Structure 1
Amino acid sequence: MKKIYLFGGILCLIIATLSFNACKKVKEGFLSDYLRYSSNPLRVNAGSFYLSQGLIPDASTPPFEVTLLNVRHKDTGKRAEEFFKEYELDVWKLPYDPTTDTTLALINAKRTRVKKTPFEVTPVSGQMVFNEASNNIPPGEYLLDIQVKNPNGTKTYNGICTIILAPQVEYEYINAPYSLAVEANSETAIRFAYDADWIDATVGRSTTAWLKIKRVADSPNQVVLKFKDKNGALFAPSEYKQRPSGNSYLKTLGTFAYKTTVTDTAVLYDYATSPFPALYWDSQSNGINCYYRINANNVASIDTASATNWNPPSQLPYGTWNKRPVKLNVRFNTRINRPGKYIYEIILAATKK
């Protein structure tokens, strides 16, 4: 019986001890040595807006006051001055709406030109913020040093996170550009083998269209669009027609631009800001696909892709087809991430009259 009482007493003592520890509160003002970021290393593309998650406090008691101390090159430990310099960039005072902000005056009324550093750390949560000016920072690996203060303490956290800054992606191909032959007096496409397959996605080349993109200047924000045949002959810009769809037309770059100008050598599209087209359009019908038509009077013949001995990009067996008049339906889908002036040159596997 004594053993039973002894065992019961020990059990009660253990339960009481566990209950006390479970209810014990962390001392107010506790500041852990193990604050951290959930993403470490943090990978960011230069030139884009990015907001990281905040610090994981590891039971430290708020409120916190976070201060950026330094950003250092990981390989040398030296301060990366580009993170602390100020650069000019446009800041929106009001939300941009591409469907209503259709003139430069309306657009400029909503934004202002300021000088900002490309990187900051928010003082309460410790979130890392990158803006478009980060394209001035050389790609590489960097170490972040911060100071954190709460009501009863201050600590320094050197190298709390590694930042991997990737080179800026100035533009990207969302899907394969292509052209389809369509009978001159109908809307029925004459499909050939591999007519929309990639040959090389990195350069925007499919079997029937090759979209070459080149950034040529920091300003103005403009796309210069040119259609050429397989020999480099220019299709007249006045002949870049909209593609009909029922009682309306499908999108072109003009849908997303605030100004369109037709010249003797190209069609110019002025845009407000990057990304272009704006993310708003991603959820709209057909997304940011751009559709154009080259009418039959501009097309003498078309090149067809053949499945025989097909081995792109080493072998590109094409055949020529000119049995009856055809027009071309052209589609491409791109996004510009860095503002500036770009040349869009689309080479079509077709011969201009």
Structure 2
Amino acid sequence: MKANLNFFYTLIFVVGLSVSCKKIDNGFLSDGIRYKDNTIYCKRGMSLIMSDRINTDGSTPPYQFELLNLRNESSGEPAPEVFFKQFDLLTFKPGMVFNAETDTTIELLNKKRETVKKTPMEFNTVSGQLVFNRTSANLPLGRYNFDVKMTNPRGEKLFPKLATIEVVEPSIDDMFKVTYQAATGSTAGEVFTGITAPKIECRKISNDGARVILKIVDKNGKAFNPKNGEIVKRGDRPMFETHVKFNPVQFTDNSLICDFEVAPFPLTNYIDKGGTDWGFLIYYRIPMKYVQVDGLPAHNVNPVFGFQILMEGTYEVEIKLPAVTRVTQ
């Protein structure tokens, strides 16, 4: 019996020793890493486009990613070298931001900016994110897939054709967004009544320059005449030119024209000297002698709107007042 017990204890010792000598796996490296969407859209020429991070499916950190074998999806040929070529990119210096109150000339603005060398596409080796900048305007349209190699404490693994980059032209919805739209009528005694909010539309005329042609029109599409005093400012509230003062706003017989120089426009929220944050808001008044509001005789019209243009070019922005008719003198 004693001999049997000795044998039993010896067996346990040997098994324990063999288990203790067995190599323990260092962490976990999943076979199922992925992006949220398999297709990553590069809207070429936009200021900043960023993909989602790679979902590591519970893999043990820290991890590192490497983008490999970028190639044309249909032909299998390597992607054009322009993806990896460096271009000049004008950008704000670290810690510098635009201030509409003080950055009133291009010279003052340029003191806050610098030209750096950037490739159109950058790959974040820690998150796996793809980042595209304004120089992506140089990329050819098309679909390009790529492999990713992932490394973590467990080892490394190659994931062929993990995702596809599709280079596309941005739509007007990518380049332009409405942030606010409202309107009121007001009497000579400054009694205000809400009226139907404006309808705001934008169309891109060309890729040249950095210009907004702003038109305020009645329900029939007839434009009010800023040059004739049919569109005037409202006290100390922000106007078109409040958001960028590099060039004087031009008054024509049917529009206000602003050369904004750099996108986005407005670059940032407008905060006045008293600390009030006006966002992107623009206030105007159409005097009552130039307008008839449905159901409200003898009222001024006060459109309030906000928008942002996210890419350089020439745009026509139309502010249509659905409850208003222009009165010609």
In structure 2, what is the equivalent of residue 41 of structure 1?
A: 38
* Distance in 2 separating the partners of 1:145 and 1:136: 23
1:120-166 residue CA offsets vs partner (Å, 9 max, x unmatched): 22456644221123344466653123456799988654313333556
1:296-346 residue CA offsets vs partner (Å, 9 max, x unmatched): 1222x23x3xxxxxxxxxxxxxxxx46x32110112222211112222233
Change (3 A) 1:102 1:233: same
Give, as a single letter, the amino acid of the residue that structure 2 aligns with 1:242: K
| Matched residue SS, 2:265 | coil
Aligned counterpart for 1:120 among listed residues 115, 119, 122: 122
Change (3 A) 1:281 1:109: same
Contact 2:71 2:144 in 1 (8 A): yes
* Distance in 2 separating the partners of 1:281 and 1:12: 76
The Cα shift of 1:83 comes to 2.9
In structure 1, what is the equivalent of residue 92 of structure 2?
A: 92
Whether 2:188 is the aligned partner of 1:188: answer no
| Matched residue SS, 1:241 | coil
1:276-315 residue CA offsets vs partner (Å, 9 max, x unmatched): 223445996343232211111222x23x3xxxxxxxxxxx
Whether 2:326 is the aligned partner of 1:351: answer yes
Contact 2:269 2:280 in 1 (8 A): no
Q: CA RMSD in A?
A: 4.5
**1:56-71 paired onto structure 2 within 5 Å:** 56=56, 58-59=59-60, 67-71=66-70
**1:185-334 paired onto structure 2 within 5 Å:** 185-189=189-193, 191-192=194-195, 195-196=196-197, 209-238=198-227, 239=229, 240-244=231-235, 249-259=236-246, 260-265=248-253, 266-281=255-270, 285-299=277-291, 301-302=292-293, 304=294, 321=295, 324-334=297-307
Change (3 A) 1:60 1:296: closer
1:83-124 residue CA offsets vs partner (Å, 9 max, x unmatched): 345555422234222243232111122224455331022456
In structure 2, what is the equivalent of residue 170 of structure 1?
A: 175
1:142-200 residue CA offsets vs partner (Å, 9 max, x unmatched): 3123456799988654313333556521212234x4433222332322x45xx13xxxx
In structure 2, what is the equivalent of residue 200 of structure 1?
A: none
1:204-262 residue CA offsets vs partner (Å, 9 max, x unmatched): xxxxx343322223343222222233444442224332234xxxx33223221123323
Question: TM-score by structure 2 length?
Answer: 0.71
Contact 1:227 1:235 in 2 (8 A): yes
Change (3 A) 1:179 1:280: closer
* Distance in 1 separating the partners of 2:304 and 2:141: 34
Give, as a single letter, the amino acid of the residue that structure 1 aligns with 2:309: I
* Distance in 2 separating the partners of 1:19 and 1:255: 73
* Distance in 1 separating the partners of 2:77 and 2:89: 27
Task: Give the share of equivalent positions with the same residue, in percent.
Answer: 27
Q: Point out where structure 2 has 5 or more consecutive residues left out of the alignment.
A: none
Moved more, 146-155 or 282-291: 146-155
Question: TM-score by structure 1 length?
Answer: 0.67
Whether 2:147 is the aligned partner of 1:159: answer no
Contact 2:50 2:130 in 1 (8 A): yes
Contact 1:96 1:107 in 2 (8 A): no
Change (3 A) 1:24 1:137: same
Change (3 A) 1:4 1:115: same
Change (3 A) 1:79 1:352: farther
* Distance in 2 separating the partners of 1:10 and 1:272: 83
Change (3 A) 1:40 1:213: closer
| Matched residue SS, 2:109 | helix
